[in-house]
């Protein structure tokens, strides 16, 4: 029990971390970068795959060789290739010359001669040192320094003789990559952050930005690579378009601004929140009138991206034909709220505000990039998002309370949400992706949750006075509890993840009590009962159970599981297969519950046909509901009767391995 309390404290600590997003201030962004003739760019239908010019800052070159290789040979090439293959932009017709920052951010727009109005930026009085986030831009990337006096007269151009001779017409976006231990890096669990710093004059597309990879957070082990790469891609998405600072610059398919522009060509700047104010054609507040909470229904306001492509893709994904668009995050404060997808309904979509598990960049994110008006997306690059898929309007328009109540009423699984208290022994499940072992992340907070997130009326043995202190460990998911992968710390200090496809996560042979295999061919399968082992006169029973990682293959006859070199045919969903095997001198016995064949073999056309059960959506619920799910019953605990009644006197041991170890859920904030 001590370990469980520690776990709760640890989770609370994680959820208290709020990070400030790097949304650039007005003076941090330079506009009017020329990439060709205005009319030509705006109307040009020709597009090409986006080309990055990656420029490494000196801070990268002083890192250890291992970290340099990680950034220069692995992370950045993979990320750049991903964006090149996923997005196209309108052809640039002139090389990108980055604009200079001006003293006091004051400038005039004039033509080449400096005598008439035009599109060229002339600094008032003096040009300043030009930066992009924490990086000083080298002279070789900068345009000439053009200056007028304070009245806009006597304009002069000081030629930049240091500009690189290489033709930057081959570049659509200049990305400065640094690895500086900034205050931002010190603040919290921030691994990397990025933003745009210059926008072009014709359509306001960002053409330069930076990514700072926090040097102390860079780990080059294979377990970290997936999350690191996904974080870098996440940050580049912010720099290219998915940012609350850029909403007001979005354009329709014809290049027409969606937000009204002022005489300087820019949208109105809102000095209250330090953002350019966007139109309701882009992000719109919508009030959910039947937000289900303990004690009744309340109004809950959400902010939604309502642009056409996003709306279409969100409706299709959730199978909710009257969905208004895609919901944005409402929590986390400045830098998290409004600039990510809502965690409750997009869980492992990589553009949500925290990293929890198996990040994917889905069609909805690609659609948002198209709706900026700057990019064309290649949807074959979209990754499949299983969370929320086809779960209907009750899932996407309400919260986990409404969802769980409805599913219980219709005798259906409450997944992906859950309401099981963590208790010893642990009862593990699988994540909705079937890629990892998972636990329900329902935890106790130190004080009552805000009214709009109080989902429970009763929870097992929890005293009524404490009931509102319970919620999901991931705050950004509106405190909705869901099955989440976790990390174990073994007695020897070794950290072990629960993702089946990473072979380093495998338990050692003498602790492989449930005959698991971790490999790229493995997925999470639920157990039918406790696993037991026999060796000489000893029997042992695993008290922590529920799911494990096993190899599988898809054949014309359907799904097969391979355990301990034996193959088992999974003929029907939910049928149990008996497993007998040997490990480290023990005779091991247990059972697996066959998963739905399509979950493992989708798209391979090798599954027998099932009838799809439709359930009735019921938005209103009775006022008092017990949302706790039934975990395994007491009859399944302990030693099986056949051992006790055997004529041989066995010495029995109960192994309660996992509860003795420290467990934590990953909830690193993306920024
Ligand atoms: Zn972010």
Q: How confident is the model at residue 41 (pLDDT cuts 50, 70, 90)?
A: low
Ligand 1 centroid distance, CA of 514 (Å): 38
Q: Quick one: DSSP state of residue 341?
A: B
Q: For the segment 173-221, what is each residue's pLDDT rounded down to a tens digit?
A: 999 999 999 988 887 668 888 899 999 988 999 999 999 999 998 988 8
Active site residue 216: no
Supply the range of the domain harboring residue 160.
Answer: 24-242
For the record, the structure tokens of 215 come out as 């040097």
Q: How confident is the model at residue 83 (pLDDT cuts 50, 70, 90)?
A: very high
- What predicted TM-score, i.e. pTM, was given to this entire model? 0.84
Ligand 1 centroid distance, CA of 107 (Å): 31
Of 235, 313, 349, 516, the catalytic one is: 235
Residue 628 lies in a domain: no
pLDDT at 578: 94
For the record, the structure tokens of 282 come out as 């882009």
CATH of the domain at 140: 3.10.170.20
Residue 628 CA to residue 620 CA, distance in Å, equals: 19
Q: For the segment 129-175, what is each residue's pLDDT rounded down to a tens digit?
A: 999 999 999 999 999 999 999 998 999 999 888 777 665 568 999 99
Ligand 1 centroid distance, CA of 354 (Å): 8
Terminal CA-to-CA distance of the chain, rounded, Å? 34
How many Cα atoms sit within 13 Å of 327 on the Cβ side?
28
Compute the average pLDDT of residues 345-371. Answer: 93
Q: Is the dihedral of CA 636, 507, 575, 429 positive or negative?
A: positive
Out of 220-224, 289-293, 581-585, give the one with best mean pLDDT. 289-293
Residue 523 CA to residue 535 CA, distance in Å, equals: 28
pLDDT at 639: 30
Residue 416 CA to residue 393 CA, distance in Å, equals: 15
Ligand 1 centroid distance, CA of 669 (Å): 8
Ligand 1 centroid distance, CA of 245 (Å): 12
Ligand 1 centroid distance, CA of 633 (Å): 42
Please state, rounded to an integer, the average pLDDT across all residues of the chain: 83
> In this model, does residue 222 exceed pLDDT 80?
no
228, containing H or E segment: helix 222-240
Ligand 1 centroid distance, CA of 506 (Å): 31
DSSP letters spanning 30-87? EEEE--S-HHHHHH---EEE--EEEEE-HHHHTS-HHHHHIIIIIIHHHHHHHHHHHE
> In this model, does residue 667 exceed pLDDT 90?
no
> In this model, does residue 61 exceed pLDDT 70?
yes
Residue 200 lies in a domain: yes
Ligand 1 centroid distance, CA of 655 (Å): 42
Ligand 1 centroid distance, CA of 415 (Å): 26
> In this model, does residue 21 exceed pLDDT 60?
no
496, containing H or E segment: strand 495-497
Residue 207 CA to residue 509 CA, distance in Å, equals: 53
Nearest C-alpha neighbor of 586 from the set 540, 539, 535: 535
Ligand 1 centroid distance, CA of 238 (Å): 7
Ligand 1 centroid distance, CA of 124 (Å): 35
Ligand 1 centroid distance, CA of 125 (Å): 37
Q: How many CB atoms lie within 10 A of CB 581?
A: 17
Ligand 1 centroid distance, CA of 232 (Å): 10
> In this model, does residue 48 exceed pLDDT 60?
yes
Q: For the segment 517-573, what is each residue's pLDDT rounded down to a tens digit?
A: 999 999 999 999 989 888 888 888 887 789 999 999 988 888 999 999 999 999 888
Chain centre to alpha carbon of residue 199: 26
Query: Any idea which of 116-125, 365-374, 491-500 has the lowest mean pLDDT?
Result: 491-500
Q: How confident is the model at residue 604 (pLDDT cuts 50, 70, 90)?
A: low
Residue 192 lies in a domain: yes
For residues 338 and 283, the answer to whether their CB atoms sit within 8 Å is yes
DSSP three-state, residue 278:
coil
Q: Is the dihedral of CA 514, 347, 384, 189 positive or negative?
A: negative
Residue 176 lies in a domain: yes
Q: How confident is the model at residue 420 (pLDDT cuts 50, 70, 90)?
A: confident
Residue 209 lies in a domain: yes
DSSP three-state, residue 259:
coil
314, containing H or E segment: helix 308-318
Residue 52 CA to residue 252 CA, distance in Å, equals: 24
Per residue, the 3-state secondary structure of 644-668, as one string, reads HCCCCCCEEEEECCHHHCEEEECCE
Q: How confident is the model at residue 241 (pLDDT cuts 50, 70, 90)?
A: very high
Ligand 1 centroid distance, CA of 593 (Å): 38
Q: For the segment 516-527, what is each residue's pLDDT rounded down to a tens digit?
A: 999 999 999 999
> In this model, does residue 652 exceed pLDDT 70?
no
DSSP three-state, residue 507:
coil
Residue 523 lies in a domain: no
pLDDT at 649: 40
Q: Quick one: DSSP state of residue 92?
A: P
Residue 175 lies in a domain: yes
Q: How confident is the model at residue 92 (pLDDT cuts 50, 70, 90)?
A: confident
Q: Which runs of E-coded beta strand occur in 256-388?
A: 269-270, 275-276, 283-293, 296-305, 326-327, 354-355, 376-377
pLDDT > 90: percent of the chain = 55
Question: How many structural domains comprise the chain?
Answer: 1
Residue 577 lies in a domain: no
pLDDT at 654: 52
Query: Any idea which of 311-315, 435-439, 600-604 has the lowest mean pLDDT?
Result: 600-604
Ligand 1 centroid distance, CA of 70 (Å): 22
pLDDT at 665: 55
Question: Which residues is 187 bridged to in the sheet?
Answer: none
Compute the average pLDDT of residues 625-644. Answer: 33
Ligand 1 centroid distance, CA of 353 (Å): 6
Q: Quick one: DSSP state of residue 140?
A: G
Q: Quick one: DSSP state of residue 313?
A: H
> In this model, does residue 638 exceed pLDDT 70?
no
Ligand 1 centroid distance, CA of 414 (Å): 29
Ligand 1 centroid distance, CA of 391 (Å): 26
Residue 490 CA to residue 486 CA, distance in Å, equals: 13
pLDDT at 636: 31
């Amino acid at each position: 029990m001590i370990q469980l309390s520690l776990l709760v404290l640890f989770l609370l600590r994680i959820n208290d971390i709020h990070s400030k997003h790097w949304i650039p201030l007005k003076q941090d962004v330079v506009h009017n970068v020329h990439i060709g003739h205005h009319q030509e760019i705006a109307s040009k239908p020709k597009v090409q795959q986006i080309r990055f010019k990656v420029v490494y800052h000196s801070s990268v070159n002083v890192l250890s060789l291992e970290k340099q290789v990680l950034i220069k040979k692995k992370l950045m090439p993979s990320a750049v290739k991903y964006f090149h293959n996923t997005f196209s932009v309108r052809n640039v017709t002139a090389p990108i010359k980055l604009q200079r920052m001006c003293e006091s951010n004051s400038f005039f727009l004039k033509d080449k001669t400096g005598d008439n109005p035009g599109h060229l930026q002339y600094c008032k009085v003096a040009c300043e040192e030009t930066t992009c986030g924490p990086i000083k831009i080298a002279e070789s990337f900068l345009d000439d320094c053009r200056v007028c006096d304070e009245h806009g007269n006597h304009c002069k151009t000081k030629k930049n003789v240091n500009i690189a001779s290489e033709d930057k017409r081959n570049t659509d976006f200049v990305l400065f990559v640094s690895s500086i231990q900034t205050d931002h890096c010190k603040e919290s669990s921030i691994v990397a952050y990025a933003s745009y710093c210059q926008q072009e004059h014709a359509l306001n597309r960002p053409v330069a930005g930076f990514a700072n990879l926090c040097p102390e957070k860079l780990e080059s082990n294979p377990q970290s690579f997936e999350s690191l790469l996904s974080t870098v891609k996440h940050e580049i998405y912010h720099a290219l378009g998915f940012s609350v600072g850029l909403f007001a610059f979005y354009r329709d398919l014809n290049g027409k601004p969606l937000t009204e522009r002022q005489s300087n060509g820019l949208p109105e700047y809102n000095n209250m929140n330090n953002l350019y104010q966007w139109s309701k054609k882009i992000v719109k507040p919508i009030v959910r009138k039947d937000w289900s909470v303990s004690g009744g229904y309340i109004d809950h306001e959400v902010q939604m991206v309502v642009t056409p492509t996003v709306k279409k893709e969100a409706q299709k994904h959730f199978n909710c034909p009257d969905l208004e668009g895609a919901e944005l995050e409402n929590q986390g404060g400045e830098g998290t709220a409004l600039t990510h997808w809502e965690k409750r309904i997009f869980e492992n979509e990589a553009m949500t505000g925290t990293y929890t598990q198996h990040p994917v960049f889905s069609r909805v994110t690609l659609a948002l990039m198209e709706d900026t008006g700057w990019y064309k997306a290649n949807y074959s690059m979209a990754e499949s998002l299983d969370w929320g898929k086809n779960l209907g309007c009750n899932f996407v328009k309400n919260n986990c309370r409404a969802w769980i109540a409805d599913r219980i009423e219709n005798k259906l699984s409450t997944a992906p949400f859950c309401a099981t208290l963590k208790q010893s022994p642990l009862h593990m499940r699988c994540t909705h992706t079937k890629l990892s072992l998972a636990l329900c992340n329902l935890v106790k907070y130190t004080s009552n949750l805000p009214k709009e997130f109080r989902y429970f009326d009763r929870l097992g043995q929890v005293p009524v006075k404490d009931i509102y202190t319970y919620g999901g460990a991931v705050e950004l998911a509106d405190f909705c509890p869901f099955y989440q992968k976790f990390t174990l710390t073994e007695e020897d200090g070794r950290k072990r993840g629960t993702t089946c496809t990473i072979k380093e996560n495998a338990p050692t042979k003498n602790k492989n009590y449930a005959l698991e295999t971790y490999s790229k061919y493995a997925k999470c399968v639920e157990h039918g009962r406790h696993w037991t082992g026999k060796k000489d006169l000893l029997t042992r029973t695993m008290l922590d159970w529920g799911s494990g990682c096993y190899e599988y293959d898809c054949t014309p006859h359907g799904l097969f599981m391979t355990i301990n070199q034996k193959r088992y045919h999974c003929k029907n969903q939910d049928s149990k297969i008996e497993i007998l095997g040997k490990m480290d001198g023990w005779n091991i016995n247990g059972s697996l519950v066959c998963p739905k064949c399509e979950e493992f073999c989708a798209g391979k056309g090798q599954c027998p046909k099932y009838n799809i059960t439709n359930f009735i959506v019921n938005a209103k619920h009775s006022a008092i509901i017990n949302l706790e799910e039934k975990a395994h019953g007491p009859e399944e605990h302990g030693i099986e009767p056949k051992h006790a009644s055997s004529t041989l006197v066995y010495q029995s041991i109960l192994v309660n391995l996992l509860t003795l170890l420290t467990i934590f859920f990953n909830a690193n904030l993306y920024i």
